[in-house]
Structure 1
Amino acid sequence: MMLLQTEKALRLLEQYNTITILVPREYTKSKIKEFFEKKGYKVKKVNTLITKKGLKKAYVRFKEEGVARKVAEELGGL
């Protein structure tokens, strides 16, 4: 998993408690959610899409405030 640090990704992080990550194409929404819940974070919602370049992007929104920033720091992004 790789954290994206675009303007949109940072805005989502700040305003909506959501991280944006690139994941392998075989990962499902439930697999992504399970990954973060095993680490002790409560996930509210996971959205995925395939980019034009063929990469899979996931938007992971957390239930508790401020968790997205903590997760981003753990993934080595901020």
Structure 2
Amino acid sequence: MNSAANPTFEAYGHLLKTPENWAALGWAIDQQHFLTALEDCRRFRNGLMHFSPDPVTDDQLLPAQGLLELLRSVDPQI
């Protein structure tokens, strides 16, 4: 079950599209670049969890790695 305490990737995207919510983060990265990376990672996650019985290749991991790099640029402890 989805709730405010357990948001989905899609919910994060909707929340962070709002300029006020994005500004509240104070992140020095481009909003649209982050939202695109988040959406790419959401699609990767959904494909992996719902449709893929095969092992994940390095190329398939690129969306998750890209989002992780962005998050680490704003918080190196991630």
Report 1 or 2 for greater relative contact order, CA contacts < 8 Å, sequence distance ≥ 6: 1
Write 1 or 2 for the structure with the bigger share of strand.
Answer: 1
Q: Which structure: greater helix fraction?
A: 2
Q: TM-score, normalised by structure 2?
A: 0.31
Q: Which has the larger radius of gyration?
A: 2
TM-score, length-normalised on structure 1? 0.31
